[in-house]
Amino acid sequence: MSESRATMLASIRRSLGVKGDERIRKAMVEDRLERAPKGVIPDRAQLDAAGKLALMLEKLEAAQASVARLASYADVPGAIAQYLRDNNLPASIRRGEDSRLDGLPWAETALEVSKGPSAGHDLSAVSHADLGVAETGTLVLASGADNPTTLNFLPDYHIVVLSAADVAGDLESLWPKLRRKHGKGAMPRTVNLITGPSRSGDIEQTILLGAHGPRSLHVLVVEG
Amino acid sequence: MSAHSTAHDFKANASRAIADTQLTGNLKAVRQNFIDKRAKAVKGLPEFEALRESGKEIKDHTLAHLDLYLEYYAQKVEESGGHVHFAADAEEARKIALDICRKVGAKTVTKGKSMITEEVGLNAYLEANGVTPVETDLGEYIIQLRGETPSHIIAPAVHLNKHQIEGDFRRVHTHLDPARDLNEKVSLLTEARGVLRDRFLVADVGITGANFLVAETGTSIIVTNEGNGDLTQILPKVHIVMTSIEKMVPTLEDASQILRLLARSATGQEMSVYTTLSTGPRRMGDLDGPEEYHVILLDNGRSAMLGGEFQDMLRCIRCAACMNHCPVYHQIGGHAYGWIYPGPMGSVLSPSLIGVDEAGHLPNASTFCGRCEAVCPMKIPLPKMMRHWREREFERNLNPALQRWGLGFWAFFAKRPRLYALANRLAIKAMALIGRKKGSFKGLPGLGAWTKYRDFAVPEGETFQAKWKKARAGR
Ligand code: SF4
């Protein structure tokens, strides 16, 4: 244990007038960590499935993401090819190992699909979101070989597939889902909450898109 | 020592700022942009007031149990394969960061926006020791080119206009075509993106700050709009988080409550573009992300603010709403405050961190209009605390020589807590014995100014600290 760790903890305890071994304080902390109370949850996100989806779509657009609604996963490759064409982009795309994107009719398109993280040379990438948050139009992506984090930031055009069934109402409802998946108190290395394409307001407070991350964020919402 | 300060020259700094017509022109953006956007965002969320109360409660609870949460947090970080370093002051924080850089032979370090690295003066220190720091937030990048400090805690270059920025880019980016057109703001952005993209890809270490530390999971959270903080932390081999102890919250739910307040209060967004949760280094099977994850936890005077009249300031989430709504800030901008934290939050915080001698003038930079407190998402009573500082300063000036002598005397003991407690107990017992008969003292050595006009009540034979402890234990 470093000297400063002991000094700082002692200083905190001196200021608070505590010793650090008080049972009641420990119990309060353990209880809070265990229960993880939810706090104030906005009414706006307490909706049925259709309502959540509608709010998600509305908020995605407000965050300046573009959206395409698809009937099934089989439509994903075609929708990607279409998007790249519409933006005059080469028909190539980078993706991770996510099995939800396996077995789709990629061969029916002219797309050149490569797998792996990005080293900065990919113009477009596709990821699969684990969840969506309707309240703010936020996409939740977890790191790993399935969806490498570099794909979320280095390409100019980021396409994200979101299953309508994975849209949650409010931010707080994400965490129990994450805990179920990764175990309580454990997390993937990186969880990205993404709300729209990259932007900066640092030049005369004018909001400009495409600062360091993707200039465009395109969301494919799969409803079937 | 923390970063250089000219806060003692506040009056001169402020007069110079007011006379600078270019600056006051540029500052109009603050009034025009931030205030309306925040108001709209707040109006759009009926639960905003309830969330303020919730945010305050979360932070008050966390601060009251900060020792325990820090211990729990540190354990969780280690469990996930990361390292936690405690830094009692600015110098220690700088040294730890440099050490980590040296161990991996780092030549360049990319940096996400971090007020804590500004507070400890990290860039100058790294540079002096052969490591090149590259600021990657657009605003921070611009002021780094100019050799300036941020003038605003979330919009560091708000004091500049696009022509000034164009001049800096032309001066520094000499590898680009001198005849290029930089008239549009977006061409400035694109140029910075290109220049910095190259730096991201070659950096050996990435340093970010943290908006929150989550005890439950050992997670650090950053909130940005540009994505620079993310490129900073996922591309290099090593990710260092330099942050301070009061960023702690217990759980992910608690962080969520305050996230709702943060973006709305800062930029008027419902959610910033990138909210990123980082826990430890890359996992087995991960194909990207840092191989090492270090958290440097800075104290630098904060632990001493707990339990006292300035504890509330430790709830601050650095949203900048207080300065965006401050008529004094609107007039003079951020640099006049002389140290890195401007506006109302700086006027309260700076004297705590760098001392009243240096920053004692800042609490006077207030009209007591109360707008800062009204908009502060964490309900920090800023005007009241500025008054506290003024009162302290006033008392100090009544008898500067004696006060300073007394403070030096006190400081000697304060740095030696056992001795302090012992001396206090002895003195108080002695005074209680001597004064018992009369109930008060007519004169005490060293307290002439006090006992000249009033009597010094006889202590009841117990120190405040001892009483405090008893009272606490009884809860
Ligand atoms: S004092 Fe309040 S308003 Fe000012 S930066 Fe801190 S949290 Fe925001």
pLDDT digits (tens, 9 = 90+) for A170-212: 999 999 999 999 998 889 999 999 999 999 999 999 999 999 9
| Smallest Cα distance from A69 to chain B, Å | 22
In this structure, what are the phi and psi dihedrals at residue B126, rounded to the nearest 5 degrees?
A: -60, -45
Phi, psi of B8 (to 5 degrees): -65, -20
Q: Which chain A residues touch B271 with a CB distance below 8 Å?
A: 63, 136-138, 193, 195
Contacts of B303 in chain A (CB under 8 A): 8, 11-12, 15
Q: Percent of chain A, pLDDT > 70?
A: 100
> How far is residue B116's CA from residue B139's CA, in Å, rounded to a whole number?
16
Domain extents in chain A: 1-37, 43-222
B384: exposed, middle or buried (Cβ count in 10 Å: 0-12, 13-18, 19+)? middle
Chain-centroid distance, C-alpha B55: 18
Of A15, A22, A204, the CB nearest to B307: A15
* Structural domain includes residue B8: no
Whether residue B336 sits in one domain with residue B274: no
Query: Could you say which of B395, B423, B451 is where a domain stops?
Result: B395
Q: Which CATH number fits domain A43-222: 3.40.50.10420, 3.30.70.260, 1.10.3720.10, 3.20.20.80?
A: 3.40.50.10420
Full DSSP string of B206-266 = EEE--SEEETTTTEEEEEESSSHHHHHHHSSSEEEEEEEGGGEESSHHHHHHHHHHHHHHH
Phi-psi category of residue A120: left, alpha or beta, with phi > 0 → left and psi -120 to 50 → alpha: left
Q: What is the pLDDT of residue B364?
A: 84
Angle at which helix B343-354 crosses helix B382-398, to 10 degrees, equals 40
pLDDT computed for residue B435 by the predictor: 44
* Residue B455 per-residue DSSP state: P
What is the CA(B343)–ligand 1 centre distance, in A? 9
Give the Å distance between the CA of B153 and the centre of ligand 1.
10
Cβ neighbours of B220 in A, within 8 Å: none
If asked whether residues B282 and B136 sit together in one domain, one would say yes
Q: Atom 6 in ligand 1: which residue has the minimum CA distance? A: B316
Q: Does A16 touch chain B (CB under 8 A)?
A: yes
Listed residue (A78, A159, A175) closest to A123, CA to CA:
A159
**pLDDT of amino acid B19:** 87
- Alpha carbons B276 and B234: distance in angstroms, whole number: 11
Tokens of B124: 């100058």
Quote the CA–CA distance of B450 and B464 in Å, as a whole number: 19
pLDDT in tens, A138-161: 999 999 999 999 999 999 999 999
pLDDT at A2: 80
CATH assignment of the domain containing B82: 3.40.50.10420
Task: Please identify which residue in the block is written with the tokens 């969780």.
Answer: B76
Q: Give me ligand 1 centre to Cα B256, in Å.
A: 17
Q: How far apart are CA A141 and CA B8, in angstroms?
A: 47
Q: Is the pLDDT of residue A54 over 50?
A: yes
Residues B232 and B265 reside in one and the same domain: yes
Partner B contacted by A171 (CB < 8 A) = yes
Q: Do B245 and B273 reside in the same domain of the chain?
A: yes
The tokens for A176 are: 């129990």
Domain count, chain B: 3
- The CB density around residue A103, as the number of other CB atoms within 10 Å, is 9
B273 lies in the same domain as B286 = yes
Phi and psi based region of residue A131 (left: phi greater than 0; alpha: psi -120 to 50; beta: remaining): beta
Same domain, B258 and B136: yes
CA distance B255 to A224: 33
Per the CB < 8 A criterion, the answer to whether A201 and B188 are in contact is no
- Has residue B176 been placed in a domain? no
How far is the CA of B415 from the CAs of B17, B31, B300, B468, in angstroms? 39, 44, 14, 20
Whether B1 is in a domain gets the answer: no
d(Cα A101, Cα A70) in Å, to the nearest integer?
14
Residue A86: what pLDDT? 97
Residues 6+ apart with CB under 8 A from B416: none
CA of B345 to the centre of ligand 1 (A): 6
Residue with CA closest to ligand 1 atom 8: B319
Contact (CB, 8 A) for B126 and B109 = yes
Question: Can you give the pLDDT at residue B11?
Answer: 87
To the nearest whole Å, the CA of A10 is away from the closest chain B CA by 8
Query: Whose alpha carbon is nearest atom 4 of ligand 1?
Result: B322
**What is the residue type of B39?**
A
Q: Quick check: B274 and B223 in contact, CB under 8 A?
A: yes
Q: How far apart are the first and last CA of chain B?
A: 38
E strands of chain A, at which residues? 66-70, 92-95, 112-115, 124-128, 131-133, 138-142, 157-163, 167-168, 190-194, 199-200, 208-209, 216-222
Q: Are residues B411 and B440 in the same domain?
A: yes
Query: Strand locations in B102-246, DSSP E?
Result: 108-111, 132-135, 205-208, 212-214, 219-224, 238-244
Residue B207: CB partners within 8 Å, gap ≥ 6? B97, B109, B110, B111, B112, B114, B117, B122, B133, B232, B239, B240, B241, B242
Beta carbons of A75 and A107 less than 8 angstroms apart: no
Parent domain of B324: 304-395
Alpha helices in A142-182 (DSSP H): 150-153, 174-182
Which pLDDT belongs to residue B452? Answer: 43
Q: Does A197 touch chain B (CB under 8 A)?
A: yes
Q: What separation in angstroms does the CA of A48 have from each of A45, A70, A174? A: 9, 20, 16
Partner residue facing A203 (CB), from B74, B162, B257: B162
Burial B220-242 (b: 16+ CB within 10 A, else e): bbbbbbbbbbbbbbbbbbbbbbb
Q: Residue B319 CA: which ligand 1 atom is closest?
A: 8
Q: 10-residue block means of pLDDT along chain B (475 residues)?
A: 87 88 87 91 97 98 98 98 98 98 97 96 97 96 94 92 96 96 95 95 97 98 97 97 98 98 97 98 96 98 96 97 94 91 94 90 86 97 93 69 48 50 49 45 44 45 53 53
Judge whether B210 and B247 are in contact, CB under 8 Å: yes
Single-letter code of the amino acid located at A200: S
Distance from CA of B443 to the nearest CA of A (A): 30
* Cα of B471 to nearest chain A Cα, Å: 9
- Measured from the Cα of B321, ligand 1's closest atom is 3
A82-115: pLDDT as tens digits: 999 999 999 999 999 999 999 999 999 999 999 9
Calculate ∠ Cα B378-B381-B387, nearest 5°.
155
B216 with B309, same domain: the answer is: no
Give the list of residues 6+ apart from residue B210 with CB closer than 8 angstroms, or none: B220, B221, B222, B241, B243, B247, B295
Angle at B35 between CA B34 and CA B40, to 5 degrees: 100
Whether residue B45 is contained in a domain is answered as no
Confirm whether B236 is domain-assigned: yes
Give yes or no for residue A220 having a pLDDT over 90. yes
Element (H, E) at B295: strand B292-298
- The pLDDT, as a whole number, for residue B438 is 44
Q: Do B212 and B111 belong to one domain?
A: yes
Closest Cα in chain A to B55: A39
Q: Are residues B246 and B134 in the same domain?
A: yes
- Decide if A150 and B235 are in contact by the 8 Å CB cutoff: yes
Rounded CA gap, B262 and B271, in Å?
8
Q: Does B321 sit in the ligand 1 pocket, CB within 6 Å?
A: yes
Is residue B171 assigned to a domain?
A: no
Whether B368 maps to a domain, the answer reads: yes
Confidence of residue A224 (pLDDT cuts 50, 70, 90): confident
Let me know whether B77 and B191 are in one domain.
Answer: yes
A148 in contact with chain B, both atoms CB, cutoff 8 A: yes
* Contact list, B472 vs chain A (CB under 8 Å): 16-18
Given B351, B370, B395, the domain boundary residue is: B395
Burial A153-162 (b: 16+ CB within 10 A, else e): bbbbbbbbbb
Strands (E), B319-401: none
Is residue B327 assigned to a domain?
A: yes
- Quick one: which atom of ligand 1 is closest to the CA of B375? 3
* Per-chain mean pLDDT for chain A: 96
CB spacing of A171 vs B165 below 8 angstroms: no
Return all residues near B35 (Cβ < 8 A) that are at least 6 apart.
B324, B325
Q: Are residues B373 and B360 in the same domain?
A: yes
CA-to-CA separations, B376 to A123, B330, B408, in angstroms, rounded: 41, 17, 35
CA–CA separation, B297 and B243 (whole Å): 5
ipTM reported for the complex, 2 dp? 0.97
Query: Does residue B376's CB lie within 6 angstroms of at least one atom of ligand 1?
Result: yes
